[in-house]
Structure 1
C-alpha cells in the first residue's frame, strides 16, 4: 500500500472510531455547555475537557519528540487575524446552538437516521465552500489582509520561552499547566467520576486527535509528495467531501474526506447494531429555518475561524496555538449568546 493510500485508510478508521464513540457517548461541546449552564450537568463538558487534556499532552509529546512538525499545520502559521478568527468562532458558536449540534455531531446524528442533519451538513458544506473559495472568499481575504498581524510568538510554549525558558521546559510547563487544569476540572465532579462511559469517550477521542496528527504528519510524511499536516476537523473537510462527491473523477481522496466518510460509517454501524437507528425529520417550517440558519453560520464561521468545535476546540488547541484560543473563545461566547438569548426565542418560534 502506498503512503497516501495508507493515510486515507487510517483517516477512515479514525473517523469510524469517532463515529462509534460519539454516538455512544453523545460527545458534543454544544450539548456539554448547554447541560452545564442550564441543567447543572457537567458530565459531557468534562468529557470534552478530558479529551482536550489528552489531546494536548499527546500532541505536544509527539511534537517535542520530532515525530510531527506541528508548525506546518494551519494553526501555527506566523500570521493570523484575531478579529476574523474570533468573529468566525462567534458565528460558529451561535450556529451550533441554532442547529442543535456542531458539524461533527450532525454527521454522527445523520448516521442514526436524523434527516435534519442531512440538511445541516449540506448547508455547512456549501457555506464553507462559498466562504473559502466562492463569492465570500474575496471579502474574507480582504479582511484577513487588513487585520492580520505577525507576532513574535504564536503558541503558549513559545510565549513561555520568551521569558528565557528552554524550548523543552516551556513545552512541558505548558502541558502541565493547561492539561493539568483541564484534568482537575474534569475529575472534580463526582457525577463525572461515576460516568465510565463519559470518561472513556474523553480518553478515546483525545487519543484520536493524537492519532490523526501521527497519520498525516508522521506516517504520511513525504518530502516528494507532502500532505497537509492536520488531524480531526470537519468544516473544510465537509466542503471537500461535497466537492469530491460532485467532481471525484478530477480529484483525489484526502484525509479529511476519508475522515468524514469514516464518521458516518461508524455511526451508521453503531446505530444499527445497538437498535438506535430511527428516521427523524423537522417538526415545522420554523424548525427547518432555524437549522438552516445555524448551519450557514457554522459553515461560514468555521471557514473564517479555521475550524469548528473539534477542529479548533480539540485539534487546534492541542497545538497550544494562540489563534486557537481566540477561536475557541469566540465559539464559547457564541454558544453562550445562543443558549441564553437566542435558543429560548427560537424554541418558541418552533412551537
Structure 2
C-alpha cells in the first residue's frame, strides 16, 4: 500500500471514529429526525440534519472552488443518469429505513452500543446491496437504468445557473449561498434547537466530516499513478464491501469506505463503553425481526439504485449540488414520510 492510499485509509478510519461517537451521543439520524418532526412534534433533530447539510455544502463547495477537491470525479456529478431509478431507489430506501427503525449508518452506531437488532440490519443490508450491485438483482437494475437514463448538459445547480449567464465561480457561490442560508435559517428558527448546543455541535461536526472525506480522497489521496476514488461519507456500498472484505480479505483491498464503516462501529463502541451506554438488546418477537430484516433489504436495494443513502445522497451527494442527488433525496424523504404518516404508515409493533 503506497503512502497516499494509507493516508486515505487512516483518515477514513478517523472520520468514522468521530462520526460513530457523534452519532451515538447526539442521535443523529434522518429517520429519527423525521419521526420526531412528523409524528412526535419535536423538530430539533431535523434541524440538526438541516444544519449538517448546510455545513457540508459550504465546506465542500469551498474545497471545490479552491481546487482542493474535484467533485466532478465523484459518482454524483455524472452527465448520464436515470431520474426514475434514483427517485424509486430513494423511495425504497426511505420506506425501508422506517421499517428498520434507522438507516445503515445508524445501524452501525447502534450495533456499537450493543443493539443486536442492528447486527441483522447490517448483514441483510450488505447482502441485498451486493446482490443489487453485482448479484442476482444487478441485471434488472442495469436494464432499468439503461431504459430510463438521460444525458444532460447540466448536472448540478451551479452548472444550471451558469447556463443562464453567470460564470462558473459566481454560479457555484450563488447556488451554495442560497441553499446554505435557507437551511441555516430553517435550523435556527426553532427555539429549542437554539438552546441545544449538543445538537448544533453535532450538525456542524457531521457536515465538516463530509468535507473532510472529500479533502482526503480528492486532495491528500490524489495520485496520478494510483488514483483513489473521490468520495466521502456514504454507507450502502461500503457496508457491502466491508462484509465482503471480512470474508475475503486476502483477495480484496482496503478502501476509504471500508475504513469508515469500521471506524463508525469502533467509535460508537468506545463511546458506549466509556459513557456506560453499552447494553445488549434483541428483538421482541419474530414479527419484529421480519419487519426489520425486510426494511434492511429495501435499504440495500434502494440505496444502490439511488447511488446512496440518507447520508450518502442526503449529505455527501447534496454537498456536490448534483441535480441527481436532490432527486434521490426527494425520494428518500417521500418514502420516509409514507412510512411515518398516511395509508402506508408502518404501525407500531405490539409489546410482546
Query: For this structure pair, what is the TM-score category when the shorter chain's length is used for normalisation?
Result: over 0.9
Q: Deviation at 1:151?
A: 1.1
The CA deviation string for residues 183-208 of structure 1, in whole angstroms up to 9 with x for no partner, is: 00000000000000000000000000
1:41 equivalent in structure 2:
42
TM-score by length of 1: 0.98
Separation of aligned partners in 2, 1:260 and 1:323: 24
Q: Deviation at 1:343?
A: 7.6
Native 8 Å contact 2:76 2:317 kept in 1? yes
Structure 2 residue ranges without an equivalent (≥5): none
The CA deviation string for residues 122-148 of structure 1, in whole angstroms up to 9 with x for no partner, is: 000000000000001111111111100
Q: Deviation at 1:310?
A: 0.2
Native 8 Å contact 1:290 1:346 kept in 2? no
Runs of 4+ in 1 over 3 A off after TM superposition: 341-346, 348-351
1:160 equivalent in structure 2:
161
2:129 equivalent in structure 1:
128
Native 8 Å contact 1:98 1:343 kept in 2? no
Which secondary structure does the structure 1 equivalent of 2:151 belong to? coil
2:334 equivalent in structure 1:
333
Separation of aligned partners in 2, 1:161 and 1:6: 35
Aligned pairs (5 A) from 1:300-319: 300-319=301-320
Q: Structure 1 343/17 Cα, relative in aligned 2: closer, same or farther at 3 Å?
A: farther
Q: Structure 1 51/102 Cα, relative in aligned 2: closer, same or farther at 3 Å?
A: same
Separation of aligned partners in 2, 1:38 and 1:287: 20
TM-score by length of 2: 0.98
The CA deviation string for residues 94-145 of structure 1, in whole angstroms up to 9 with x for no partner, is: 0000000000000000000000000000000000000000001111111111
2:72 equivalent in structure 1:
71
Q: Structure 1 70/273 Cα, relative in aligned 2: closer, same or farther at 3 Å?
A: same
Which secondary structure does the structure 2 equivalent of 1:243 belong to? helix
The CA deviation string for residues 331-351 of structure 1, in whole angstroms up to 9 with x for no partner, is: 000001111147855424675
2:180 equivalent in structure 1:
179
1:192 equivalent in structure 2:
193
1:232 aligns with 2:233: yes
Separation of aligned partners in 2, 1:343 and 1:119: 24
Q: Structure 1 312/57 Cα, relative in aligned 2: closer, same or farther at 3 Å?
A: same
Which secondary structure does the structure 2 equivalent of 1:75 belong to? coil
2:12 equivalent in structure 1:
11
Separation of aligned partners in 1, 2:6 and 2:109: 24
Q: Structure 1 350/62 Cα, relative in aligned 2: closer, same or farther at 3 Å?
A: same
1:252 aligns with 2:253: yes
Q: Structure 1 345/338 Cα, relative in aligned 2: closer, same or farther at 3 Å?
A: closer
Which secondary structure does the structure 1 equivalent of 2:284 belong to? coil
Q: Structure 1 166/109 Cα, relative in aligned 2: closer, same or farther at 3 Å?
A: same
The CA deviation string for residues 215-263 of structure 1, in whole angstroms up to 9 with x for no partner, is: 1010000110011100000000000001101110011101000000000
The CA deviation string for residues 140-167 of structure 1, in whole angstroms up to 9 with x for no partner, is: 1111111000111000000000110111
Separation of aligned partners in 2, 1:3 and 1:173: 34
Separation of aligned partners in 2, 1:266 and 1:243: 21
RMSD of Structure 2 on Structure 1 (CA) = 1.1
